[in-house]
Structure 1
Amino acid sequence: MSSIEQNLGGRTALVTGATSGIGRAAAIQLARAGAQVIVHGRDADRGGQVVAEIARAGGKARFVAADLADLAEIRRLADDAGQVDVLVNNAGFSWFGPTADLDAATYESLFDSNVRAPYFLVAALGPRMAANGGGSIVNVASMVATIGLAGAAAYSGTKATLTAMTRAWAAEFSPHGVRVNAVAPGPVHTAADPARIEAFGATTPLGRAAQADEIAEVITFLASPAAAYVTGATIAADGGRTAI
């Protein structure tokens, strides 16, 4: 990929859940590609660290705190962000365990975080992108939207919903120049449960889990002009797990 194709200079990117893991890596990569990045999260200290890391590398970023479980906070985040060219819906969480063990409050929180928050962010920002002549929305889904994994029924449901919304949003917004895609990671090394991630990684054809930077590369590609003819797609970044 040429530097011209990767260039996001002059564009603004909002990355939700950008203080750790895939979101943090995506924020740093997008800034490296030239975007001015709005780093979203709930922890101002961690957000400040990401902004400082981007600044040390010569990039531009600012932190905006918001609780995406609150619709008013979602609207405030969208208003604070203003006109964005790239939206990365990364914020969310997972829950694994027997179906009968999931309480109603956690179930609702899963769907609020993984489905409702990206829905209403797109509702706020998608029309602005369309009115501005274009943009790119990248949703972070998961391989569990495709494969059957015991203990992941509710989490899988949230990510399958997100991939379905990705296709519908592509149909709605792409005629106005807004590309909407998803990346579906497999197991990724993060701070959460390293033993489980290692075990999942061993089941992939590549025999390992991904690093967050490897998923961020796919997000940056989808956000960039290099993916100008890609919309409505869900790109598997799972070490081949969903191919077998």
Structure 2
Amino acid sequence: MFRLNNRIALVTGGGSGIGRAVALTFASSGATVHVLDVNRESAAKTADEISRNGGNAVSHACDVTDQQEVMAVFRGIGKLDILVNSAGVSHIGKADTTSEEDFDRLYQVNVKGVYNCLFAAIPLMKENGGGAILNLGSIAAVVGLPDRFAYSMSKGAVQAMTMSVAKDYLRDNIRCNSVSPARVHTPFVDGFLAKNYPGQEQEMFQKLSQTQPIGRMAKPDEIAKLILYLCSDEASFITGNDYPIDGGFTKLNN
């Protein structure tokens, strides 16, 4: 079950974190994976790991905020069955403490970056007779998180784009869903703690972990396994949905 044999998949942000876990999981399930990341070395490292494990992968250095760059990469790939929009950035700040520069950066990467990849991928999928699209959302789109103004804005937009694409391309056999994680233990979390809580990293890590009712952060490969299912034939009746994967955060924090 959940095999992706003979499928061509593209994963943005595939050089680290959730994107890397998705790329590795897809490759182990039989897909040929195109790993996109703004960091050339990170993309190549993920693709090399897949190749060493007997899988098929190609790395691409690509800035998802640049539509021409995105279009060139997608055209070079040609056939596409699966798109996972995982590239994204975070930000700490309220409405009156978020600079215009930071707000624009969140929009460019988290919103326009998703749009650019949708714009490039959907025509390829239509030519191919269909496909599956998975966008990385966040619980920040549906609950009020402190100091996440711009990030929440961007993930709300991702959820709205997911529903719109799912509706517009039903007759083209293109499915579109999103997953919304709570806190996931990625290198970003470690970097955030080191920067903002030097000397208190372990204490703050435990504190953040306990905000999930389940008592810990998610692992990237746990998110990847849900994404694998949603992009597989076993999920062929699923489109236009967002799936919280949050350790009970949205429903049980009362």
TM-score w.r.t. length of structure 1? 0.94
Q: Matches of 2:104 and 2:245 in 1, distance apart?
A: 27
TM-superposed deviation, 1:44: 2.2
RMSD: 1.3
Q: Partner residue of 1:208?
A: 216
Say whether residues 1:48 and 2:44 are aligned partners: yes
SS at match of 2:187: coil
2:166 corresponds in structure 1 to 170
Please identify, of 80-89 and 42-51, the stretch whose mean Cα deviation from structure 2 is larger.
42-51
Which position in structure 2 is the counterpart of 1:118? 114
* Corresponding residue number in structure 2 for 1:185: 181
Aligned residue for 1:13?
9
Structure 1 stretch displaced more, 216-225 or 190-199: 190-199
Aligned residues: 240
Letter aligned with residue 213 of structure 1:
D
Q: Which amino acid aligns with 2:117?
A: L
Q: Deviations over 1:32-62 (max 9, x none)?
A: 1100000001222222211111112111000
CA distance in 2, matches of 1:39, 1:161: 24
Letter aligned with residue 223 of structure 1: C
After superposing on structure 2, the runs of 4+ consecutive aligned residues of structure 1 that deviate more than 4 Å are 195-198
Q: 2:9·2:80 contact (CA, 8 Å) conserved in 1?
A: yes
Deviations 1:146-198 (A, max 9, x none): 11011111110100110011011000112211110001011000112345654
Taking the TM superposition and a 5 Å limit, the aligned residue runs for 1:98-109 are: 98-109=94-105
Superposed, 1:1-244 pairs within 5 Å as 2=1, 6-194=2-190, 195=201, 198-244=206-252
1:53-112: per-residue Cα shift (whole Å, max 9, x none)?
111211100001111222221222222232210000000101012332211111111011
| TM-score of the two chains, using structure 2 as the length reference | 0.90
Structure 1 portions without partners, runs of 5+: none
| Structure 2 residue ranges without an equivalent (≥5) | 191-200
| Alpha-carbon shift at residue 7 of structure 1 (Å) | 1.3
Q: Percent identity?
A: 37
Q: State the alpha-carbon separation in 2 of the partners of residues 198 and 87 from structure 1.
A: 34
Distance 1:69 1:206 in 2: 36
User: C-alpha distance in 1, partners of 2:24/2:146?
Assistant: 34
* Alpha-carbon contact 2:80-2:128 (below 8 Å) kept: no
